[in-house]
Structure 1
Amino acid sequence: MTETKLSIKDLTKRYAAGLEPAVDRLNMEVEEGHLVALLGPSGCGKTTTLRMVAGLMDPTAGSIMVDGKEITHTPVNKRGMGMVFQSYALFPHMNVEQNVAFGLQMRQTPKSEQKKRVAAALDMVQLGHLGKRQTKELSGGQQQRIALARALVVEPTLLLLDEPLSNLDAKLRETMRSEIRSIQQRTRATTLFVTHDQDEALDMADRIAVMNGGLIEQFGSPTEVYERPRTHFVANFIGQANFLTARVGADTGAAPVGERYYKIDVDGFGQFGAVGVPGLTGSTHELVIRPHRLNVSLHPGVVGPESIAGTIERVSYTGDALAVAVRVGEKSLQAQLLTSSGDLPRAGETAYLSWVAEDAYLLPAPAKGLPE
């Protein structure tokens, strides 16, 4: 059984009396060896949370525990954590080896031990050959790896990453997130990773805390938060989504993972199938369908007997896929097709849309402003 490494209870931060809290009674548990992403838009409280865990900021209320010991008010230099900042914060007057050794020097580690651990850390990030290089002579990706080596060389109780990839170009970000994840898995370093990039979170994290307005709206695996969002915000923030209003009719049987199949009436378009948590019959809910889960055809009857006809408004070519906007009444639905999928649609043509029940998810809460 995996042990809890980090436990946060009712953590709150107010910057001034009368203002809304930047972090509002946040609760979260991080298991040993896991990488947890704090994901959300600017101002949601994710960096504030990270800084409180690091000891760089005092919380207004709540507690932080690591390995069962409370560290809420422990000074930052006594927490034994490693942190990689967005700017990397390397010392320009030190070479690579000196930067990596800095934390060990502060801990008064014997010089012979420092040398071995610095060499091992640089080899881990594949930069052992650059030990004597000045940091200003390194590329952005190399600086990022040196910052990571400096954080890991002290064998931290927690590794804290504050948007460390945001200064890199898109292609290098993809490479570095793969490398960071690989290093984290090899070292088994329990890690908190702050990002506003949903692709980074989905690719790297064991668990994702989706934050909004100082709160965690959902905490779960990448699959859970993407496939089974708990709120409109989560569904809308992570990936693209179509939202329809559905009156939930008959419960038609058990679905996988404890869910139920339902017959639903969608916005007057007709009756379709969907899945959701138990107990939704008779109420109105938002229906979430990801664009790549919509079946699209230019020919009636091909996508199934239950389909919606609409007019193609726009087709966007993205290389390996086509993004297709289909107007159905007052709704514009977003679909995604592989470019090799046969007939390529064009604006003005009629398209027929359908979905299988497992790909249409009813949000648990009743739709706001609509009758239950």
Structure 2
Amino acid sequence: MYQMMNEFGTPYSEVEDSMRPKGIGHRHIDKELAVSGMESQILPLVFAGAGAAIGGAVAGTAAGALVGASIGSALGGGMSQANAARKQAEQANAATDRQYYYDTAAWQMKKEQLRSDREHAVLELETRAENEQTVNEYRDALNLQKYNYDVQIRANEQESLDKQFEKSNEIYNVQMDYNAMAEQSAMDQEYHKLEEIKAEARFDDEEIRLQALMDEGKLRALGQSGNTLDQQVHGVWLKAGKRIAAINASVESAGRASRSIIKEIGLDKDTADLQAFASKMLDPGVLPDVIEPIALPYTEWVMPRALEEYDFGPAPVQGAYYDPGAAAGRAWGSTISSIAGMIPSYGKMLDII
């Protein structure tokens, strides 16, 4: 029994056989080819024997047998040519089936590849969009956290600056009051010293005058008169006047020194006031607000369009088939024409014999 084996070494089932392409390797065609091979080897011998028998029966001579053998040989050759033509047509049809099977499989694989590529592209874009969303959400959270932290820092800095400014004003006011008190105290001390000098000068002046009066009284008590007495009295008062003038000059000098010192005290107070003002902190005002973070933008992803039928291209078209019977018929036609051309020649040869 004729059977074809698959790649596992077991005979093809009817289902497997129906799915295989029609060509070489199909069990019915292979069986026909095997049978035609046997025919190509056996039938020429049969035709040759039959032709010889016919020729011998017709002519009854060796020449008749020769004619019959030639016709039988021609018939056998025609059979071989017909079988070869049929086999060639069947092989061409099998090649057409294999090509169609390959083209169809490749077309289907190309369709699957296009679908897979699109699905992969969509998955890749979706993954990139998800990753971008994750990164943006993380960055937005960091920006918000930094914003809240900066707001706290700004509030603390504003509070600290306000307190520093308030304390600076307090220190400035205290320093100004102290400078005024120090100035007044220094001026009071200087005025007090000057008054003491003036009081001492007045005391010395009175003492000098009193001593001059006492000296004048002593001179007058001596009973003197005239120019001599006047000269002596004048000398006493001249001496007293010099001492009083010296005291007045000393008081005047002390007054000038006191006024100079008081002026210097005023200048020192102004210098201290300027230093206090220079050390005073400027009004910090209101610090600028922290800028609120802006949400990160998102990319607008465009997904690949859906596949259409025209993306796959036209389906493969099966090639044309050759008719094995027609191919064999053409071979038989040529053989019959050849035999027909041989018969007149063989007839003349038999007539001669």
TM tier, shorter chain? Answer: under 0.3
Which protein has the bigger strand share?
A: 1
Higher relative contact order (CA 8 A, sep 6+): 2
Which protein has the bigger helix share?
A: 2
- TM-score, structure 2 as length reference: 0.18
